[in-house]
């Protein structure tokens, strides 16, 4: 890895992001435009995200399954709003085995339709409900403007699809999964997302209501980081998902879906990274700490390496890597692991061997401020405490940054000024016309109506009409 520096965030945040994805070896460009190759380091980060989410899903009674990648075109046409919403993004297979297909097949952009079809076969009685299924997989959406992890033609995600006997139960599921995403983002990713409801303009195609977690990146743009959708009976009616209720009467079921994708890798990069590279939260970092041996000659090497092995064994409960590559200076290694965002560096040199100590360097506090010397005795406890401290510090820093860049905009001038430097939180009358005006004038969109509403009434910051809810406006990815 070359030691050339990243473009500073303050100079060109977009270029900084593109460089860091490649220099930290998270992903690379694929030969097909708009696709990416996720490299082992990036995939390890995604695996840790998967593990943290999957644990939560299963704890709340969900199970995993797998559904086909190819969907008959006629399935998408059954739900009018759904097909209209996805039509521009569809990749369609027209030939197979050298022959023209009788019916074109869509490479799934999402799986509501194929799963709805299967649920119509499986659901017969209220005793079959609820169905709580999640799948891990990939989807294809023919995006025109792409950026690795944030918006690619093909991306990886999980999508949960559930069926319920009552609207109350389905709505509870929708909110439960929104809260699950919030808990994951805050406590694992140290990304202080805001929960809320999407406007009717911004909701998922075919949904009755859509709910989102929105994160503020370090350029103050918003990133939709996970969504949960309440479908009511829309998809049940489109795919004939019916059940015999307690009174032996046939009823349409209520369905939901919810998803979080590799876009969250982008959220981590842009929430925590700095001009030296990635800064990864310890709970998700592929490598939580790297041990760097320091020696000048073979004599010092023979002194240091046995102690390095002892230290490695002490720290075996963590995701630890020993960088014992020959021919590279400690400074080069420091730079590389800083670029990769490893939360903690452990240095072991001849003086450390003599003093029965090690040097610990925090990634979130570069330089002398983040460096301490601790005893090798009880080292595992010192490291555990420090990793917890780093996790908390990243969340606190990101939360402070977010809060400093949210502005209470009382009128249209304040709103338009606010979205140039952060987010605007404003009263909104609920009209699509006001949304469209803000978007046309500033390129900012509504992000969500937050769960925490002030109560009472106010005047819409756009048109001045009475309003009962506040909404976030921001420029977004």
Per-residue pLDDT reduced to its tens digit, 363-419: 999 888 899 999 999 999 999 999 999 999 999 999 999 999 999 999 999 999 999
Q: Which residue has the tokens 């082992």?
A: 40
> Which sign, positive or negative, has the C-alpha torsion 351, 355, 358, 359?
negative
Tokens of 295: 């020696």
Question: Considering the domain 406-474, what is its CATH architecture?
Answer: 2-Layer Sandwich (3.30)
Report the topology of domain 13-272.
BirA Bifunctional Protein; domain 2 (3.30.930)
- The tokens for 90 are 């569809």
pLDDT at residue 3 in the model: 52
pLDDT at 148: 97
pTM of the model: 0.95
Calculate ∠ Cα 73-75-76, nearest 5°.
Answer: 75
Which DSSP string corresponds to 300-337? HHHHHHHHHHHHHHHTTTS-EEE---TT--HHHHHHHH
Distance CA 391, CA 283 (A): 7
CA angle 433, 438, 443 (to 5 degrees): 130
pLDDT on residue 2: 43
Sorted by where each begins, the domain ranges of the chain are 13-272, 289-401, 406-474
For 390, other C-beta atoms within 10 Å of its C-beta total 25
Give the span between the Cα atoms of 398 and 392, in whole angstroms.
10
The rounded distance, in Å, linking the Cα atoms of 168 and 204 is: 20
Class of 289-401 per CATH?
Answer: alpha beta
Give the Cα separation of 390 and 384 in Å (integer). Answer: 10
Residues of the chain with pLDDT under 70: 1-3, 79-83, 85
Cα–Cα distance between 204 and 280 in angstroms, integer? Answer: 31
Ranges of H-type helices in 30-145: 40-59, 73-76, 80-86, 112-122
Model pLDDT, residue 82? 64
Q: Which residues pair with 450 in a beta bridge?
A: 196
């Amino acid at each position: 890895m070359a030691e050339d520096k990243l473009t500073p965030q303050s100079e060109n945040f977009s270029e900084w992001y593109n460089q860091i994805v490649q220099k930290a070896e998270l992903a690379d460009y694929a030969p097909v435009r708009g696709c990416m190759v996720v490299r082992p380091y990036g995939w390890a980060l995604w695996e840790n995200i998967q593990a943290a989410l999957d644990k939560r899903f299963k704890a709340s009674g969900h199970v995993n399954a797998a559904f086909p990648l190819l969907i008959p075109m006629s399935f998408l046409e059954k739900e009018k709003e759904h097909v209209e919403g996805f039509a521009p993004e569809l990749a369609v297979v027209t030939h197979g085995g050298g022959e023209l297909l009788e019916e074109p097949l869509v490479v799934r952009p999402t799986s509501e339709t194929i799963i709805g079809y299967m649920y119509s076969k499986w659901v017969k009685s209220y005793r079959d409900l609820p169905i709580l299924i999640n799948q891990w997989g990939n989807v294809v959406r023919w995006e025109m403007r792409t950026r690795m992890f944030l918006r690619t033609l093909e991306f990886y995600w999980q999508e949960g699809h559930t069926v319920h006997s009552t609207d109350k139960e389905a709505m509870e599921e929708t909110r439960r999964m929104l809260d699950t995403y919030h808990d994951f983002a805050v406590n694992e990713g140290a990304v202080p997302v805001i929960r809320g409801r999407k406007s009717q303009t911004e909701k998922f195609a075919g949904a009755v209501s859509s709910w989102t977690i929105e994160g503020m990146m370090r350029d103050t743009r918003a990133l939709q980081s996970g969504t949960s959708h309440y479908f009511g009976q829309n998809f049940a009616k489109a795919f004939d998902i019916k059940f015999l209720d307690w009174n032996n009467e046939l009823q349409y079921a209520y369905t939901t879906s919810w998803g979080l994708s590799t876009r969250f890798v982008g959220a981590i990069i842009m929430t925590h990274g700095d001009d030296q590279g990635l800064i990864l939260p310890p709970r998700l970092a592929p490598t939580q700490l790297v041990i760097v041996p320091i020696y000048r000659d073979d004599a010092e090497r023979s002194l240091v390496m046995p102690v390095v092995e002892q230290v490695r064994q002490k720290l075996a409960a963590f995701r630890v890597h020993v960088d014992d590559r020959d021919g590279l200076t400690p400074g080069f290694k420091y730079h590389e692991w800083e670029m990769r965002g490893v939360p903690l560096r452990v240095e072991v040199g001849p003086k450390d061997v003599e003093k029965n100590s090690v040097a610990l360097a925090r990634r979130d506090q570069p330089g002398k401020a983040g460096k301490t010397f601790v005893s090798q005795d009880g080292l595992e406890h010192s490291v555990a405490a420090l990793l917890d401290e780093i996790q908390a510090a990243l969340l606190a820093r990101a939360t402070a940054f977010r809060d400093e860049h949210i502005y209470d905009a009382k009128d249209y001038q304040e709103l338009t000024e606010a979205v140039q430097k952060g987010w605007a939180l404003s009263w909104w009358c609920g009209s699509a016309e006001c949304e469209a005006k803000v978007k046309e004038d500033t390129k900012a969109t509504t992000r969500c109506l937050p769960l925490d509403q002030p109560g009472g009434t106010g005047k819409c910051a756009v048109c001045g009409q009475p309003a009962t809810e506040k909404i976030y406006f921001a420029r977004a990815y």
